[in-house]
Amino acid sequence: MNSEKLKKLTLAGALAALTTVATLFIQIPSPTKGYINIGDVLVNLSAWILGPIYGSAAAGIGSAMADLISGYTVYAPATLVIKAGMAVVSFVVYKRFAREQKSYWALLAGAIAAEIVMILGYAVFAGVLYGSFASALLSVPENIVQGVFGAAVSSVLYAALRKRSTRLSAFF
């Protein structure tokens, strides 16, 4: 394994752990059997720092681990797929818009696109799980709250980190 891959793998493990901690740190239980958390901040940061492959692994594994630890085991497989998908979408949209927009707006576009994946992904999963897409729509408002927070904070935080660190740019 070359040095660059080892760095990315190590950072992916660290970001997966941070994603787990961020998801567990603040959990606001919801009436629809889920919870609102701040893990999406790390999902987007993982994507932007590591790219779509390692970033999606860190985001998906870290988020799914939080579900397993906190007793939401039934959600873990869906979380793995949804959060990994969020990271891929976040990275791809960011890279697409970064060519045309200032960096912050490209970050925000990537984060918003990722949060849409989260909102739709959990709505579909809940619809299948509970056998009712009407009841699954009840989770949409709380996921929107989580999504707005995650998109705003991750965009601001990454922009600030990137200004302060030349090393962050080395991963792209």
The CA distance from 115 to 44, in Å, is 9
pTM confidence score: 0.90
Please answer whether residues 91 and 44 qualify as being in contact, where contact means their C-beta atoms are separated by less than 8 angstroms. no
Rg value, the chain, Cα: 16
> What pLDDT score was predicted for residue 157?
93
| pLDDT confidence bin for 133, thresholds 50/70/90 | confident
The answer for residues whose C-beta is within 8 angstroms of residue 74's C-beta and 6 or more apart is 129
Average pLDDT, integer, range 37-45: 95
Q: Please state the separation of Cα 15 from the chain's center in Å.
A: 11
Instruction: Flag whether pLDDT at 31 surpasses 80.
Output: no
With bands split at pLDDT 50, 70 and 90, how would you rate the model's confidence at 76?
A: very high
Q: What is the DSSP letter of 100?
A: T
Across residues 90-96, what is the average pLDDT? 96
Topology, domain 3-171: Arp2/3 complex 21 kDa subunit ARPC3 (1.10.1760)
Tell me the Ramachandran region of residue 33: left when phi exceeds 0, alpha when psi lies from -120 to 50, beta otherwise.
Answer: left
Positive or negative, the Cα torsion across 28, 122, 86, 84? positive
Determine what percent of the chain is predicted with pLDDT higher than 90.
67
Res. 172 pLDDT band, cuts 50 70 90: very low
Contacts made by residues 155-159, CB under 8 angstroms, sequence distance 24+: 155/44, 155/104, 155/107, 155/108, 155/111, 156/104, 157/41, 157/45, 158/44, 158/45, 158/48, 158/49, 158/107, 159/103, 159/104, 159/107
Q: Please indicate whether residue 168 or residue 141 has the higher confidence score (pLDDT).
A: 141
Does the pLDDT value for residue 35 go beyond 50?
A: yes
Determine the average pLDDT of the residues in 128-141.
87
Burial of 86: CB neighbours in 10 Å, binned 0-12, 13-18, 19+: buried
Domain boundaries of the chain, sorted by first residue? 3-171
Residue 5 and residue 11: Cα distance in Å, rounded? 10
Compute the distance between CA of residue 142 and CA of residue 35 in angstroms, rounded to an integer.
8
